A and B are shown apart, each in its own frame.
Chain A
Amino acid sequence: MYAHSSESLIKQAREIQESELQKFHSRLGKLLQGKELGHEAVDSLQRLHIILSATKYTRTLPPELHKRVKALLSSPAEQFQVLSSAVLRETLPPSGQELNYNQDNFLQLNSHAAALLLSQAGSRADLSSLCAQLLRSLESRQSEGPANSLTHTLPILNTILTHSPDCLTEDHVTLLSKKLVDWLRYASITQGGGVPSGGFFTGPRSRQPVPTAELDGTVSGDFFTVLCVGQGFTEDQWMNVYSFSMLRHWLLTYHSVSNGNNTADTDDRSEVDGSVVSMVSATSSSSRLLPPKERLREKAFQYCQRLIEQSDRKAHKRTDTDLQKACLVEAVCILDCVCGEDASLVYRTFPCIKALFGRLSSDLSFARVLLPIAQFYLNHGEMAAVDCECVWKLVFGRFPAELFNNQFLAHELLRFLRLNLESLQLRVPQYSHSFPNLLKFLAWDSPAVVDDFVDLLPSLVTAGTAVELLHTLLDLPCLSATLVLQVRSTCLPISEPGGRGLLSLDAFRSQSFRGLFLFLLRGEAGSGDTIDRLSTLHELLAETADWSRVVQCAQTVPVLLHIFFNTVIAVADEKLLAHLVQVMLERSSLLLNIPKYNKEIHRVFSSHLLRLCKLHPSLVVDQSHELLEFAGATAKVYSKEEIYTHVVWVLGEYLSVSCDSRCSVKLITSCFETLEAVLFEITSSAPPPGADCPVPRVVTSLMSALAKLASRSHDLIPRVSLFLSKLRTVTRGGPVAWCSDEEDLVAIVTRGEELWSLLKAPGVAQSVLTPPALVTSPQWHRDTNVAMLLRLRALTNLTHSQ
C-alpha cells in the first residue's frame, strides 16, 4: 500500500538542485501566462506543491511566479483555486507581496482563498478585519455569487473563534446571533432543488412545493433540522446545517456562565427557584421580545428538543442512524450549556433528559450518548433534586464491566472523570470504591489510557481502600489476562476441535476456580483485600505471561505504583503504612511471573520502603517481626536481592532506641543473630544449584547492618569483629565459591576491613554508624561553636581583596 515510489518522490523533491528548480519555476511561470490552462499546468502546480511541502524548511518562490500563482486564487476553475491555495500555504510571500487583510474584495472570496488568508494571518488585527469583511458579506446577501459562497463563512468564523474570540465585536455577535436564529428556526420546510418527486404524468401544474421528510420517510411536521431530508436543499437549509454544526462552540464561546453578560440570570437564584409560575409564563410569552442572545438560547433549546424527538424515529440508512446518535450527543451537550447559562431552563429540560435516559439506559450501544446525559445530571441534578443513582450505576458499573474493550467509550468516560473529578468525589459516594471496575479499562488497553490513569489514580487512593487498591494494582496483569479469557470465552466454542485448548481458558470456565476469577472481575471494592489462593491463580495464568495485552499492562504497573505510594503517604496514618509494608513484603514473592515484571516491582517496593521508613522510622521497630522473618530467609538473597538489600538496610539503620523507644536490647540481639546466620550461610558455601553468586551489595549491606547493630549493643562487637577477621583470612587464601569476581571480592573485603577498624573504637563506631539526628541534618550556622568560624571565614573572604 505504501509504495517505494512515494519515498523516491519525496527524496527527489528534497534534493532537487537549485538550477533545476529555477528552470522548473520559469517553465511553470510561462505555462501560467497562457490563456487556457490545461493538464500540464495542473501537474506542474502539483509537483511544485510536492517540492514545497516535502521539506520542513521554507522555500520561497520568485516574485513573478508568486504573483501568477496568487492570481489563480480567483480562477473560475476550482482545481486552480485548490492548487494555488495549497502551494501558497506551503511558502511565504516575498517582501512587498504580503497579503492585505484590509481589502474590500473579500466579498468574492472563495473557500480556498479564504483558507490561505486564515493560515497566513499574522495577528489578531488581520483576523478581525477578515471577520468584519465576512460578516459584511453575510449581511449584504450576495445573490450573484455561487450558492455555496455563503456556506463557508460560518466554518471560517468558527475557526477564528477558536483562536481569538474577541475578533468579533459586540455588534458582530448580535448580528450573527440574529442570523443563526433565522437559519436554525426559520429555514424553509419545503424541498429545494428543481426535481419534483412526481411521476411520468406530472406536469408543471403539479410542481407544488414538496415538504421535507423525516428520516423514517414520514412528512416533516415541524421546523427544518439536520435530521430532515429532501431531494434537494435550499440555501437556508444548508445554512441550517452549518449553523447547527457550529452552534455548541458558539454558545460555549459567547454564552458561558463566566461571561459578564449573565449577571441578571445568575444573581438571586432563589428568586428563580421560588416562583414556578413566573417561569412558565416567561417561556410561553413571545420570544421575539427577548434580546438576540437570549433568543438564540431559546431557539437552540427548541432545536435540541426537536432533535431528541427526531432521534427516536427509525432511520432507513445506517449512516443516518449514526448521525442520530451524534445529534443526541450534541443536543444534550447544548442543553447542558444553555441550562448552565439560564438556570430556569433546567426545569423545562429535565423531563426530556430523564425520558431520554429511560429510553436509552438499557441499550449499551447508546453508551456514548449516555455520557453527556451523565454530565447533565452531574451539573444540574442537584438543583433539580433528581436522584442520579441509576446514572452512576451505569457509568461506574455496567460501562466498565461490559464495555471495557470499547476504545472510544474508554477515552470519553475517563475524560468525563478527569474533568469532573471534584464534583464526582463530592456527589458520587461510590466513586472511590469503583476502582476495580475502572481499572478494567487500563487492564484491557494500557497504552491508550495509562495517561488518564496517571491523572485519575490519586483521586482513587483513600485510607479505607488503599490496601485493596495496592493488591489490585499488583494483580493488574492477572486482570488483563482474565479479561482476554472472558472475551475469548464468549467467542470460542466450548471445546476446540484441534484439542489444543488453553489451560487458562479451561480454568476460567471450570467451576472450582470460578471464585478466583470472579474476585478479579468484581465491580466494587470492599469485599476483601485479596484472595487466599492467589498463588493458585498465578499458576493457572502462567501461560498468559507472554500475551501482548498482559505484557503491555505489566509495563504500566510500576508507574502507577509510584503514584500510589506518593499519594498514600499523604493520607495514611502509621497503622496503614505498617500494613502497606507488610503487603510489600508478602507480595514481593507473590506476583504473576512475567519477565522483568518481578524485578521492576521489587525496585519500586525498595525505593518506597526506604522512603516510608525514612519518614516514619518507628515503622521498623513496629514491623520488626515481619522484617526479620523476611530477612531471615536465605533463599531471598538469591531471588530477591534488590528488596532484600533494602530490608536489611532499613533494619540496620532504624532499629535503634533513638528511632523508637520500644527498641530493646533483646530485639537488637535477635535481629543481629538473624542477619548473622544469613551472612554466615552465604559466605561459607557455594550458592545453591541454579542460583548465581550473591550480589556483592547484599554481602556488604549485611556486614554494615551487623556493624550498626553492634555499635548499639556493644556486647555484639566481638562477634562481628571475629567474623570480619575470619573473612579476611579466608579470602586471602584465594578465590571463594560464593564470589566469582576478583574485584567484587576485593571490595567486600575492603569494606569488611573498614568496619572492623571502626568497631575497634566502640564510641566512634556508635557516632558514625548511629549518628544522632542533629548530625544528619546539620545547621552549622545555628550552632554556637561552629557559627563563629563560619562568620569569620565569610568576613575574611569579603574584606580581603582577591
Chain B
Amino acid sequence: MVRCFLIHTVCPVSALSSGESRVLYSRVFGPDEGAWSDPDRGLSPEERRLLQKEKITVVARQVRSAVSLSREASGRLLVETVSGEEALALQEADGGVARLRAGDPFSEEMSALWLAVQSLGFTLVCEPHENLLLAEGTLRNLTRHCLETLHMLGPGSEVLLRSNRVDALLSRLLPHGQLLFLNHRFAQSLEKEVAAYLAK
C-alpha cells in the first residue's frame, strides 16, 4: 500500500531555511497509524494530526536532500521547460528511491519513491513489500497528469487552488493508496473519468 503522496518543493524557498521543503499537497491514505500504536496512545486527535503533519514534513525534507545530492552528483544542468512541454519535462526528470528507516518517521521501514521535475518533487511513500516497479510507473503517470491538469510548468499556484483535482485523480489511479495493475485500456477508461471530472 502507499502511505502517502506528496508534492513539495525541491528548490530553495526564501521563507524557509536551506534544507527545508514546502509541502504543497499531501494526501495520507488509510487510518492514522498513530491512533493505536502504543507510544502515541496518550495523544489527542489534534496532537495526532500535528504528528502526522510533522511526519510529512520530515519525508519532504529527506527527499529534498536526496534530490539535491543526486542532482549534484550527476552534474546535469536543469532544463527549464514551459507549459506544453510536459512530456519533455517528465523525460528530463530525476528519479530515485530513498530508504526511510523504521522510526524515521514512520513506525515501520518505508521506501520513498521520488520524481523531481525542476523545482518540484513528487513523492510516493510505499510500504517495503510493495511492488516498486508498479509504484514507479504509477508515480510517473500521476506526475504527468498533475503537470498537465494543473499547468505546473507555468507560473501560478494551481496546486493549492485546485487540490481537489489531485484528489479526484488519486481516487481513480491510487484509490486509498492501492496501487493498481492497469493495462492501457483500463488506464484509458479511468483517465476518461478523470477528464470528465475536470471538465465540470
Contact = CB atoms under 8 A, between A and B. Distances in A.
B73 A552 contact: yes
Interface in B163-200: 163-164, 167-168, 171, 175-187, 189, 197, 200
Contacts of A252: 129
Question: Which bracket fits the contact residues of A?
Answer: 35 or more
Question: Which bracket fits the contact residues of B?
Answer: 35 or more
Given A1-B118, A77-B200, A155-B177, A319 B73 contact: no
B160 A50 contact: yes
B162 A46 contact: yes
Counting chain A CB atoms within 10 Å of each CB, the highest count among B31, B120, B171, B179 belongs to B31
B133 A119 contact: no
Nearest to A231: B185
Contact of B178 (A78, A154, A447, A451): A154
B152 interface: yes
B189 A82 contact: no
Interface stretch (A240-248, A423-431, A658-666): A240-248
B164 A319 contact: no
A162 B179 CA distance: 14
B59 interface: no
A160 B31 contact: yes
A152 B164 contact: no
A2 B134 contact: no
Contacts of A118: 29-31, 176
A24 interface: no
B96 interface: yes
Interface in B50-67: 50, 53-54, 57, 65-66
A336 to B, nearest CB: 11
A325 B131 CA distance: 11
A53 B65 CA distance: 24
A6 B11 CA distance: 14
B69 A552 contact: yes
Contacts of B180: 241-242, 245
A121 B132 contact: no
Nearest to A213: B185
A448 B168 contact: no
B32 interface: yes
B120 A159 contact: no
A82 B167 contact: yes
B187 to A, nearest CB: 7
Interface string A400-415: 0000000110011001
Given A5-B157, A7-B13, A79 B1 contact: no
B168 A123 contact: no
B132 A408 contact: yes
A323 interface: yes
B22 A323 contact: no
A320 interface: yes
Interface string B75-93: 1000000000000000000
A57 B99 CA distance: 28
B97 interface: yes
A448 B95 CA distance: 12
A326 interface: yes
Contact of B183 (A158, A229, A552): A229
B186 to A, nearest CB: 6
A460 to B, nearest CB: 19
Nearest to B180: A245
A447 B156 contact: no
A297 B158 CA distance: 47
A151 B180 CA distance: 12
Contacts of B73: 445, 447, 548-549, 552
B46 interface: yes
Given A215-B183, A241-B180, A10 B137 contact: no
Contact of B119 (A1, A368, A445): A1
A158 B101 CA distance: 23
A139 interface: no
Contacts of A326: 131, 133-134, 137, 181
A448 B32 contact: no
A525 to B, nearest CB: 26
A407 B184 contact: no
A448 B181 contact: no
A156 interface: yes
B163 A448 contact: no
B175 A155 contact: yes
A520 interface: no
Interface string B104-137: 0000000100000111100000011101111011
Nearest to B159: A6
A412 B128 CA distance: 10
Counting chain B CB atoms within 10 Å of each CB, the highest count among A3, A9, A227, A317 belongs to A3
Given A159-B30, A319-B184, A408-B132, A548 B178 contact: no
Given A408-B132, A448-B66, A112 B182 contact: no
B182 to A, nearest CB: 7
A204 interface: no
Contact of B45 (A92, A162, A246): A92
B133 A322 contact: yes
A337 to B, nearest CB: 10
B24 interface: yes
A122 B164 CA distance: 25
B30 A58 contact: no
Interface in A530-581: 548-549, 552
B70 A152 contact: no
Contact of B127 (A111, A162, A226, A327): A162
Contacts of A452: 99
Given A10-B160, A86-B164, A58 B181 contact: no
A363 to B, nearest CB: 15
Contacts of A291: none
B132 A241 contact: no
A325 B163 CA distance: 32
Nearest to B57: A56
Contacts of A248: 129, 131
B167 A411 contact: no
Nearest to A454: B101
B143 interface: no
Nearest to A317: B184
B181 A323 contact: yes
Contacts of A154: 178
A320 B184 contact: yes
Interface in A629-671: none
B153 A1 contact: yes
A408 B70 CA distance: 13
B112 to A, nearest CB: 10
A3 B157 contact: yes
A720 interface: no
A447 B30 contact: no
9 contacts: A2-B11, A2-B13, A2-B119, A3-B155, A56-B57, A159-B29, A233-B189, A242-B180, A445-B73
Q: Which 9 A/B pairs are nearest by Cβ-Cβ distance? A: A155-B178, A159-B30, A56-B53, A6-B157, A326-B134, A155-B176, A226-B181, A326-B133, A447-B69
Interface of A: 1-3, 5-7, 9-11, 42, 46, 49-50, 53, 56-58, 77-79, 82-83, 85-86, 92, 111-112, 114-115, 118-124, 127, 151-152, 154-156, 158-160, 162-164, 215, 226-233, 238, 241-242, 244-246, 248-249, 252, 317, 319-320, 322-323, 325-327, 329-330, 333, 368-369, 407-408, 411-412, 415, 445, 447-448, 451-452, 548-549, 552
Given A53-B26, A411-B99, 18 more contacts: A2-B120, A92-B49, A120-B45, A124-B36, A127-B31, A155-B176, A160-B30, A163-B33, A226-B182, A320-B183, A320-B184, A323-B137, A323-B181, A325-B133, A326-B133, A447-B66, A548-B72, A549-B73
Interface of B: 1, 9, 11, 13-15, 22, 24, 26, 28-33, 35-36, 45-46, 49-50, 53-54, 57, 65-66, 69-70, 72-73, 75, 95-99, 101, 111, 117-120, 127-129, 131-134, 136-137, 152-153, 155-157, 159-164, 167-168, 171, 175-187, 189, 197, 200
